[in-house]
Amino acid sequence: MATGRDLADQLLRRASDDEAAARAMLPIKSVTDAIVGFHAQQAVEKSLKAVLAVHGEDSPFIHDIDGLADLCEEAGSKLPDGLAGIDALTPYAVGLRYDDEQSGSVTREEALAWAAVAVEWARDRVENVTAATDENHDDGASARRAADGGASIHP
């Protein structure tokens, strides 16, 4: 069975793929802002869901960046200042991909910058949460060994 860490790692790989796609398309003028924005939005969304996964939280099937950010904060992972305003990417998940009448309020460069910050932040959070969890498990085992007079708990 996959662990929260396994799912987080998988989501981070996909987030990195989306960030790389946005970065590769950035200089190509024939690729619309909506497509670059979509991949940046997906990188941010998957990064937030990776953090939720490592905290053992279920990710709702939504594209609402602000809602996912709130869930991350409730789980104990505060977003960095570099992600202020990222909810502006939410419309790129669906609306701007299918509606020619809408226009986004985010530049290609700004979208990519948010994607890069989100992926880096999520990687850091996944590592830190995993390390803290491992440390807590080690502390528990040490406490049990001490309570047993230092005896090994394994047969």
Return the pLDDT at 136: 78
Residue 59 tokens read as 């990710």
Question: 3-state DSSP call for residue 121?
Answer: helix
pLDDT value of residue 102 = 59
User: With bands split at pLDDT 50, 70 and 90, how would you rate the model's confidence at 99?
Assistant: low
pLDDT value of position 100: 62
pLDDT in tens, 46-81: 999 999 999 999 989 999 999 999 999 999 999 999
The model scores a pTM over 0.75: yes
Q: Which CATH number fits domain 4-147: 1.20.120.330, 3.40.50.720, 1.10.3720.10, 1.10.1060.10?
A: 1.20.120.330
Predicted pLDDT of residue 1: 64
- Asked if residue 8 lies in contact with residue 125, where contact means CB atoms within 8 angstroms, the answer is no
